[in-house]
Structure 1
Amino acid sequence: MIRRTLVVAGLLLLAIVLLGPELAPHSATEPVAPPYSPPGTGGIFGTDHLGRDVLSRVLHGGRPLLLTSLVSAFAGAGLGAAIGLVTALARRRWVEPVLMRPLDTLAAVPPILVSLLVLTAVPNRTGLILAVAVASIPLSARVARAAAEQVRGRAHVEAAIARGERWTWLLGREVLPLVAGPLAADLGVRFVTAVYLVAAAGFLGLSTSDSDWGLLIVEALPGAALQPWALLVPVAGIAILAVAANRTAERLT
């Protein structure tokens, strides 16, 4: 019962974020009250430094952050899982050093630094998705490889290899059903990382929209003493979104 409740709550929160622009009482750029108005005067959470409704801006900025994080997480986890599975099942010794050694080197670099290096070359949303995906590939590859190595020695997998089954059949019918749980859990972790990296990019000025939650944090910092809700709401939104997504992924596996 508790497990089902957590899944429903997480999915409900994700749905609210996706529908945020439709639920927002005002546009993201419309001044509705004097700057730094307290809660109740200019809305539930007051207004920002330009008099815009904090709640509306948060609702408008959630969807771009969520979608960008989802695409980045799926891309990074998918590519990483493919590399890890191939490495674990390959019979030739040269496959592992060719595929995994570069990823081991990449894993030693902090994800935020990897993201900044990629964004320097491609400073747009496509570059942001690519940056987050590249930062996610090494760890996803390790998880997939470890999970596949645990099932590689099973009789049905060895029999399929001995029969000369194609790689696509081997992975899809024999291996993936056994490692789907760990891969799904890893996807949840990659999504949480993606949320933080996308928000960090907005904090550094490489936002996904004009109401990106990272950008809202930057704009709210100078007036935090006057209107703390303008800072607390996007910070809480990032934390709650990440936790809800992670818990939902864990309960679904």
Structure 2
Amino acid sequence: MNQRKKRKFIIALGGSIAFPEKINTSFLRKFYLFIKKEIKKGNKFIIVCGGGKITRKYQKAASNITKVLDEDKDWLGIHATRLNAHFLRTLFRKESNEVVFDNRFKLKGFGRYSIIIGSGWEPGWSTDFVAIQIAGDFKIDHVIILGKPAYVYTADFEKDRKARPIKRLTWKDYCQLIPSDWKPGLNTPVDPMAARLAERKNIKVIVANGKDLNNLGKILKGEEFEGTILSRQSDI
């Protein structure tokens, strides 16, 4: 009688959490078990993988050898996300579509699967943009971005002790806090291209600490959680 409604979720899994200096097997094991429990409840997930530290290592190494175009730096990042996505698809082999969602029109639905694993698509934006574009195409009204920061802050919380967490923020106000243009390696909770797309498509985004799976459980259940809600209107 109190059976919870089965739902579809999109998670942008930050590379800084899953693939920092080395593959974070401790976290990924917990994440794997967490998602397995959730799909047993009937929930379905699209998980879009970030690139992680290896992306910046490749970009830096190439730049130390020769002048590298931003487009090529983006492609290095995209291929890093594709390897990470295939790694995650390997873990969820039984539950996930065998195809990595690496371009916009490659998949149009879940089919018989409970999980779809996505990666970067094209130069010019991060995997945040990919997750939000998929949300629009799949008619899912929100995206959960799991990264290093627990919130969107008034400033870079790693550099500014006075930076304050923000619980709710409109896309318009958020865009005042970040650079207006995308650059490879840009480090923001949601990249500027993704933010503008989310506002245009009226997609709500939740920014939360990726390591806190108990908090993620609260998000999925619609309970009070630690994190920032970004939307067209701050009262949503």
- Please give the range of the TM-score, normalised by the shorter of the 2 chains: under 0.3
Structure 1 length normalisation: TM-score?
A: 0.25
Structure 2 length normalisation: TM-score?
A: 0.27
| Higher relative contact order (Cα pairs below 8 Å, separated by 6+ residues) | 1
Greater gyration radius: 1
- Structure with the largest fraction of helix: 1
